[in-house]
A = this chain, B = another copy of it.
Amino acid sequence: MVFADRLTALVHRRESQIVLGLDPDPMRLWPATADRASVPSGDLPKDVSPAVRAAAAVRAHCTALIDAAGPACVAVKPQLARFEALGASGWAALEDVVAHAHGVGLLVIADGKRGDIDVSAGAYAQALMGVSDTPFGTVDGLGVDMITVNPLMGSDAIEPFVSTARASGAGVLVLVRTSNPGAADVEDLELAGGERVWERIAMLVDALGDEGVGEGGLSDVGAVVGATVPEHLSRARKLMPHAIFLLPGVGAQGGRVEDLAPAFAPGRAGGLVTASRSIANAYLLGGGEPGDAARAEAERLRELAWAISTV
């Protein structure tokens, strides 16, 4: 089954288009998990390194967050920078978090925004979605279902990700128009032909996804389109009729679910609404137990998105 059809089936089964962002700042973990420096095999001795203890706390936080808010979601999206900051221990924690999310039926989107020339892009693709051949046997990658990719270096830097994803039954989400203010600096530049840089990238995405369109009309090459500038969404949808849109910027960055309707034109799985801090930190705004508050906020987003995506 083509990746997009697998995603579509899961969206309908879970009645959710919500992606739970995992962005664990070690200094802002949930209180009950911040000092739960245990590993799957038991409590850690007190003399292990800060990196090992912090990674265990991050693992506990992400697991608790997934258990609380996951039932309202279709996927989780770990921000790789947070795990990388804890070195080898962080990467091991990431592997555990991916396994935990898969274990409760969620897809995993590795948010690493990787991009590099041919052989290096291939190595990243192996790291995240594929396997690496070594003289000692095959080394499994992270085994995620989708990854974010940076298209600055052009088609030949994206293709290795697409081919590995396609061979692995996974998908790729290319940065097209991001949700940060700096997107104006490069992505929004006007080209000689009148269109914007991001619109040209959207055309690349559409072309790369052509051979990965499933029976439901969605492709395994999707796009990151910020929810903070809703007027871009209908234009993006016109340029990429088959792309799954990952929609960041809802909540903490000011985007509103109500503005996202064009994303869902090709169907309910056409848009994935991702939120991190607004879910994990809901208890800081509204009070209550962190898990209860996170579940309530994720459920609120789920109902909103499901309602406006009625086709």
Contacts and interface: CB of A to CB of B under 8 A. Distances in A.
A179 interface: yes
A33 to B, nearest CB: 11
Contacts of A150: 113, 115, 150, 152
Contacts of A154: 180-187
Contact of A139 (B50, B185, B189, B194): B50
B200 A189 contact: yes
A141 B137 CA distance: 30
Contact of A185 (B127, B142, B180, B204): B204
11 contacts: A27-B135, A81-B120, A84-B123, A87-B95, A87-B141, A91-B91, A113-B116, A115-B150, A150-B152, A153-B175, A154-B180
A181 B138 CA distance: 31
B26 A132 contact: yes
A145 interface: no
Given A82-B123, A85-B141, A124-B84, A185 B117 contact: no
B197 A189 contact: yes
A143 to B, nearest CB: 11
Contacts of A85: 123-124, 126-127, 132, 139, 141
A144 to B, nearest CB: 13
Contact of A157 (B26, B84, B182): B182
A37 interface: yes
A307 interface: no
Interface in A259-283: none
A83 to B, nearest CB: 9
Interface of A: 23, 25-27, 29, 34-35, 37, 49-51, 53-54, 57, 79, 81-82, 84-92, 95, 113-121, 123-124, 126-127, 132-142, 150-158, 175, 178-187, 189-192, 194, 197, 200-201, 204
Given A57-B135, A154-B185, A189-B197, 19 more contacts: A25-B119, A35-B135, A50-B134, A53-B136, A54-B135, A54-B136, A79-B116, A81-B116, A81-B124, A86-B132, A87-B91, A87-B142, A113-B116, A150-B150, A151-B185, A152-B178, A153-B175, A153-B180, A155-B185
Nearest to A179: B117
A138 B81 contact: no
Given A134-B26, A138-B50, A79 B181 contact: no
